[in-house]
Every structure is written in structure tokens, then in C-alpha cells.
Amino acid sequence: MALSLAFGANAQVNYDDFITSGEHTSYYKVAVRETPVVAYPHLREADVKFSRRVIRCIDVRQKMNKQLEWPRQPLNRLLYENLTNGTIKAYKTDSLLSTYNVEEFGKRGGQEVNVFIATDPDDPTIGIDSVYYEIYKYENIKKYWIMEDWIFDFKHSVFKPRIIAIAPIFRPSYGGAVAAEQPLCWIAMDEIRQLLANTEMFNRYNDAARLNYDDFFQMRMFDSYIVYESNVFDNYVNQFQEYENDAVGALLKSDEIKNDLFIFEHDLWQF
């Protein structure tokens, strides 16, 4: 039975509303659930004097990113549930042009499983083979790719990134063999910012000032490494011949790209 409490003269608040992110609270929390999205400043093409597209990889197993795995509201569950029910669009590629329908996306990451069903109670070797489809478990998502454009806005004199899309990463398996990591789908950031802004995430310093996922991404509170920089071959870093079998070299190249962006920004100003 729901319990109603009085606040002020006539206000009635349902006690069920006190429960946010799977926890009971001693007061009515609406700060995150009513947070509006702060729009980007208007940007004209004429004001963009430099732009560079990069893709970063966020690994939730890193200490700085553990908030994304908060058991009460993990990001993988939030995205996967909204993708499977069609609330948000699942794009097939980073071009964000074509999408999966709900049925197609439901089969992404899953696999057919063969099982033997005994039909003779006296002889367990007699039976039939049965096949069923095992859907993908969102708990296996441990990485995300963030596609962003680093833009020098001449009008406002700032050099900042704008996140274009996010992709949960998974490893497909075919007959027991595990393939390389690839995006489960791509999600346009502009289409989910309101959902992220109204979803609580853990704040390690203060329970009364919970963050939201939009803050986490826009304020760059994550740790990541670069896996792609725009190039004439449209290759990811590990797809270049010199880095195919050199993971350390690929990480060094990632740091080099990050440093190039820093140097570009540093050279814009005179001190």
C-alpha cells in the first residue's frame, strides 16, 4: 500500500516517489529527474576554423569509470533496455543513417545454442537435438566508444569536443570462436541526452548531490584512450599494419594523437 505524506498545507506526496534508482530516501528527490538538458551554443560553419573527429574507448573496469557500473543504475542496463523496447534508435554504423528495428536489434549479440533433449527415460543416449536462441546479456558490456568532434570555435574562441554518438562494445562469438570487439550499435548523443540527464549516477563524495549521466560525459569525468582519428583510409589505430600485432604501439599512438590535440590548442594562444 502506498503511503502519502503531507508537505505544506495541502500537498500530498506518494511515498513510492521517494524511491529513486532502487533505493529508499528520507525526502522527495526531484533534482535529477527534472534536470533539463543544457543545449550547446549555436555553431555556424563559418566559425569552425578547425575540426578533428576522434573515437575514444571508455573501459568501465578502470577506477575512474567505475561509476558507470553502479549496480542500482548501470549505464549498460539503461541503454540496453531502452534499445530493446524501441525508446531510442539503434544505428547500424557511425554514419547514423540506417537503423535496426526492435526485432533486428534483439538478435544482436545473441547466438544459437544446441541442446540435447533425452526422450527415452530408460536410455539417456536416445533423444533429439533442439536449438534455441540465447539473447545477449547486457552485463557483458564493459566498454563504450565515444565518437566526438574537436572543434575550434572562432567566434567564442574555444577549442572543445562535442560528443556525437556512443556505442556499447561487445565480442560476438561464432560456434565458440570469439571475434574482435565491435559496436553493438551506435546511439546518437543528441537523442539520449534528456534520458541521461534524468538518470542518477553515483557521487562518491555526497549522496545528496547525485550526478547524472549527461554531466558525467559533458564534464569529461571519464578516463579513456583514443582508438580512431580521421584519416584517408578511415582505419582505426589497430587496423594500420604497423599496429596490428603491437598493442603497446597502438596505445603510444593514442597518446600521440591526444598530445597533438593539446599542442594545437596550446599554440592557439600567446602568453
Whether the CB-CB separation of 48 and 152 falls below 8 Å is answered with yes
> What burial letters (b/e) apply to 214-231, b meaning 16+ CB within 10 Å?
bbbbbeeebebbbbbbee
- Nearest-angstrom CA–CA distance, 92 and 99: 5
> What burial letters (b/e) apply to 59-94, b meaning 16+ CB within 10 Å?
bbeeeebebbbeeebbbbebbbebbbeeebbbbbeb
Give me the pLDDT at residue 255, please.
95
Nearest partner of 203 among 86, 45, 66, 16, judged by Cα: 66
Tell me the torsion sign for CA atoms 138, 144, 145, 151.
positive
Cα 195 to its chain centre, rounded Å, is 12
- Nearest-angstrom CA–CA distance, 189 and 89: 11
- Give the global pTM: 0.83
Nearest partner of 145 among 197, 73, 91, 87, judged by Cα: 91
Give me the pLDDT at residue 178, please.
75
Ordered per-residue pLDDT tens for the chain, 271 residues = 444 444 344 444 444 444 555 667 777 778 888 889 999 999 999 999 999 999 999 999 999 999 999 999 999 999 999 999 999 999 999 999 999 999 889 888 877 667 767 777 777 777 777 666 677 889 999 999 999 999 999 999 999 999 999 999 998 876 667 778 999 999 999 999 999 999 999 988 888 888 899 999 999 999 999 999 999 999 999 999 999 889 999 999 999 999 999 999 888 876 6
User: Would you call 252 helix, strand, or coil by DSSP?
Assistant: helix
CA 103-104-106 angle, to 5 degrees, is 65
Nearest 10 degrees: Cα torsion 87, 82, 227, 147: 30
Give me the pLDDT at residue 261, please.
93
Give me the pLDDT at residue 21, please.
59
Give me the pLDDT at residue 171, please.
87
- Nearest-angstrom CA–CA distance, 88 and 81: 9
* Residues near 140 by beta carbon (within 8 Å), at least 6 away in sequence: 109, 170, 171
